């Protein structure tokens, strides 16, 4: 019962801070994308501090991160925590995100400011048009990391679902480096809102794939690399207990 109360109260604090900090710092964040990212990273730092103090959760980043030249980041998605880690460590992140979030006050304002793109998951026609619009806009940019979650939703550690082809469309259209990213963040902070004491939430930049006309780009390869490494991170975390 005590752990349940701690989980609920921590979640309430974290999401309340999202609104409070978002509103109070909006005048500063609205002045530029750079300042908006500074506010977002400040929020990430505060959340990581809370998780460390309350649950002794550590956030770890492995592999070689992208520089700020234009690129695509294809990441496993298990938790709000892996989103926060990417927001904290990527130089200029922007996300392909589900359209439902565009109705969330404050969050949607900041998302638009940093260049996030809304996609309606259950409407293929609208999703396709949104993806084409994202490609058109991104083609004009020479910096920033466009983050896409190929599963289209959060999964639990160890779970595999079908990967959507959007990542290949982006890769073949924009012809920019593609970074494959794994995570076990769902162990530390599950999609149901449970936190785990003494957990390590890791993300790993597994591989950078440069675009080449000569090479075929395979969705199965992308999935195997990300899923195998995510399972490895999960098993390593489980073995600690």
Q: Which segments within the chain are labelled E, that is strand?
A: 58-63, 71-75, 93-98, 117-119, 145-148, 178-183, 200-209
Q: Tell me if 99 sits within 8 A of 119, measured CB to CB.
A: yes
- Which secondary structure element, helix H or strand E, spans residue 185, and what is its range? helix 185-188
**Architecture (CATH level 2) of domain 2-238:** 3-Layer(aba) Sandwich (3.40)
Max mean pLDDT range (119-123, 155-159, 227-231): 227-231
Structure token digits, residue 190: 């599950």
For the full predicted model, state whether its pTM sits above 0.85: yes
- What is the overall mean pLDDT for the chain? 91
d(CA 239, CA 58) in angstroms, rounded, equals: 16
| pLDDT single digits (tens) 97-117 | 876 766 777 888 999 999 988
Distance of CA 186 to the CA centre of its chain: 12
Residues 6+ apart with CB under 8 A from 216: none
Half-sphere exposure in the Cβ direction for 159 (13 Å, CA)? 15
Percentage helix, strand, coil for the chain under 3-state DSSP, each rounded to 5: 50, 20, 30
* pLDDT band (50, 70, 90) for residue 136: confident
pLDDT surpassing 70 at residue 122: no
| pLDDT single digits (tens) 185-211 | 999 999 888 999 999 999 999 999 998
| pLDDT single digits (tens) 73-82 | 999 999 999 9
For residue 48, list its beta bridge partners: none
Structure token digits, residue 65: 């991160």
């Amino acid at each position: 019962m005590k752990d349940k109360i701690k989980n609920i109260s921590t979640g309430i604090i974290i999401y309340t801070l999202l609104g409070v900090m978002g509103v109070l710092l909006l005048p500063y964040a609205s002045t530029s994308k750079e300042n908006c990212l500074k506010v977002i990273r400040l929020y990430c730092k505060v959340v990581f501090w809370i998780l460390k103090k309350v649950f002794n959760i550590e956030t770890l980043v492995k592999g070689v991160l992208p520089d700020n030249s234009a690129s695509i980041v294809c990441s496993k998605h298990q938790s709000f925590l892996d989103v926060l880690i990417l927001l904290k460590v990527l130089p200029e992140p922007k996300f392909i995100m589900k359209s439902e979030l565009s109705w969330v006050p404050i969050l949607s304002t900041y998302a638009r400011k940093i260049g996030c793109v809304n996609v309606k998951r259950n409407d293929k026609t609208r999703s396709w048009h949104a993806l084409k619009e994202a490609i058109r806009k991104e083609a004009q940019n020479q910096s920033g990391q466009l983050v896409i979650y190929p599963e289209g939703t959060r999964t639990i550690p160890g779970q595999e679902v079908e990967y959507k082809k959007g990542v290949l469309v982006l890769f073949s259209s924009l012809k920019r480096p593609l970074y494959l990213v794994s995570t076990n963040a769902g162990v530390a902070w599950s999609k149901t809102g449970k936190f785990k004491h003494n957990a390590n939430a890791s993300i790993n930049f597994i591989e950078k794939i440069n675009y080449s006309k000569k090479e075929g780009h395979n969705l199965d390869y992308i999935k195997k690399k990300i899923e195998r490494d995510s399972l490895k991170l999960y098993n390593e975390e489980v073995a600690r207990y």
